[in-house]
Amino acid sequence: MKGIILAGGTGTRLLPLTAITSKQLLPVYDRPMIFYPLDTLIKAGIRDILIIVSPEHSGNFLNLLGSMFQKFGVNLSFVVQKSPRGLAEAYVLAEDFLDGQPSVLVLGDNLFEDDFTEAIQSFKQGGRIFAKQVPDPQRFGVVEFGSDYKVLSIEEKPEQPKGTFAIPGVYIFDSEAVKVAKSLIPSARGELEITDLQKYYLEKQTLDVRVITGAWFDMGTHESLFAAGSFAREKELGKQAHPMINDAIAEFNAEFKKIVSLKK
């Protein structure tokens, strides 16, 4: 199993914060946002991770993460997404990296309280998405499912939702995802939609769902970014991160301080 973090995009809803850096490098309490999706993947035992970045901020990602996890056995790769063309394009860009392997895609601006380890490690084939009960499902992709957790329907931002379960930004697919993503026709807004990829597996009846109960933040607005930071502080999410994450951050901080002191 390989991991992908989609950390491109322009982050226009967070201007002026994103005028000088990537959204996924903004602070969420005591660490840049990117460390939360990294923690999701590393906790689940994934050690090969591709981070998809925008060209303007690729150097910032390399300066921060380039060799941070090398000694811990985590291999980070980077690819540039020249312009955002939809979530499903992640699989097109990741084709060489995935090399026929199944993968977990995590959106770089999503923070989860839940641990996805069991859901990821128990995955066999087809597709697996997640569901979170929300008060305003019409703002999201909505999933309807049966008692056996087989998906019955998927709707994108429906005016009259069939249920109250939104689809958050974690997706597990087998090796077919690349082929399917490459065959998708762009939507009316010119993007390769992740919903269309999900519907391929739904039509094959190989798409299931797991319900998450913990907090979920899509940190694309000032309000949600602030709320996520407050939650991370209150719940001490940093202390709950995989030890590898915290050790890597501590070593980076120590090395950075050493470099700064030598320049004085």
Q: Say yes or no to pLDDT of 140 above 80.
A: yes
Mean pLDDT to the nearest integer, 181-208: 93
Q: Say yes or no to pLDDT of 214 above 80.
A: yes
Give residue 260's pLDDT. 80
Q: What is the pTM of this model?
A: 0.94
Give residue 190's pLDDT. 86
Q: Say yes or no to pLDDT of 61 above 80.
A: yes
Give residue 263's pLDDT. 73
- CATH code for the domain in which residue 251 is found: 3.90.550.10
Angle at 93 between CA 79 and CA 179, to 5 degrees: 160
Q: Say yes or no to pLDDT of 201 above 80.
A: yes
**What percent of the chain lies above the pLDDT cut of 90?**
84
Q: State pLDDT tens for residues 157-177.
A: 888 888 899 999 999 999 999
Residue 235 CA neighbour count, 13 Å, CB half: 16
Mean pLDDT to the nearest integer, 177-205: 94
Q: Domain containing 242: what range?
A: 2-263
Confidence of residue 74 (pLDDT cuts 50, 70, 90): very high
Give residue 9's pLDDT. 85
Mean pLDDT to the nearest integer, 253-264: 83
Mean pLDDT to the nearest integer, 174-201: 94
Mean pLDDT to the nearest integer, 97-123: 96
Number of domains in the chain: 1
